[in-house]
Amino acid sequence: MAPASQSNSSVPPAQLPYSKQAIDDDDIAAVAAALRCPLLTQGPTVARFEEALAGYLGAQHVSACANGTAALHLAYLALGIGPGDEVVTSPITFSATAAAALLCGARVRLADVEPDSGNLDVERVERAIGPATRAIAAVHLAGLPVDLEPLRALCDRRGLWLIEDAAHALGAEYRGRMVGSGLAHAATFSFHPVKHITTLEGGAVAVADPRLKDRLDRLRQHGIERDPARFERLAAEPWAYEVQELGLNYRLSDVACALGLSQLRKQPAWLALRCRLAARYRERLVAALPAVLPPAVRADRRSAHHLFPVRIDFAAHGRSRAQVVQGLAARGIGTQVHYIPLFEHPLYRRHGAGERLEGACLYHQRTLSLPMHHSMSESDVDRVVDALAEVLS
Residues of this chain that bind ligand PLP (CB under 6 A): 67-69, 93-94, 96-97, 139, 165, 167-168, 190, 192, 203
Measured at CB, which residue is nearest to ligand PLP? 68
- In terms of phi and psi (left: phi > 0; alpha: psi -120 to 50; beta: otherwise), the region of 142 is left
The CB density around residue 357, as the number of other CB atoms within 10 Å, is 23
- Of 94 and 161, CB closest to ligand PLP: 94
| Distance in angstroms (rounded) separating the CA atoms of residues 315 and 12 | 29
Residue 49's Cβ-side half-sphere holds a number of Cα atoms within 13 Å equal to 33
Q: Least distance (Å) from ligand PLP to the CB of residue 138? A: 11
Q: Least distance (Å) from ligand PLP to the CB of residue 95? A: 8
3 state SS of 10: coil
Residue 381's Cβ-side half-sphere holds a number of Cα atoms within 13 Å equal to 22
- Of 59 and 167, CB closest to ligand PLP: 167
Residue 248's Cβ-side half-sphere holds a number of Cα atoms within 13 Å equal to 18
Q: Least distance (Å) from ligand PLP to the CB of residue 67? A: 4
- Of 225 and 335, CB closest to ligand PLP: 335
- Of 190 and 262, CB closest to ligand PLP: 190
- Of 167 and 342, CB closest to ligand PLP: 167
Q: Least distance (Å) from ligand PLP to the CB of residue 68? A: 2
Q: Least distance (Å) from ligand PLP to the CB of residue 70? A: 7
Torsions phi, psi for 62 (to 5 deg): -130, 140
Which DSSP state fits 342? G
The CB density around residue 337, as the number of other CB atoms within 10 Å, is 14
- Of 63 and 280, CB closest to ligand PLP: 63
- Of 118 and 182, CB closest to ligand PLP: 118
For the chain, counts of helices (H) and of strands (E): 12, 14
Q: Least distance (Å) from ligand PLP to the CB of residue 384? A: 21
| Distance in angstroms (rounded) separating the CA atoms of residues 383 and 241 | 58
- Of 154 and 200, CB closest to ligand PLP: 200
Contact predicate 197/259, CB 8 Å: no
Contact predicate 172/147, CB 8 Å: no
Q: Least distance (Å) from ligand PLP to the CB of residue 166? A: 8
Contact predicate 260/197, CB 8 Å: yes
Q: Least distance (Å) from ligand PLP to the CB of residue 10? A: 37
Strand partners, 242: 225
- Of 97 and 289, CB closest to ligand PLP: 97
Strand partners, 110: 89
Q: Least distance (Å) from ligand PLP to the CB of residue 297? A: 20
CA distances from residue 111 to 90, 100, 125, 175, 393 in whole angstroms, order as listed: 6, 17, 5, 24, 36
The CB density around residue 361, as the number of other CB atoms within 10 Å, is 18
Pairing of strands 86-89, 107-110: parallel
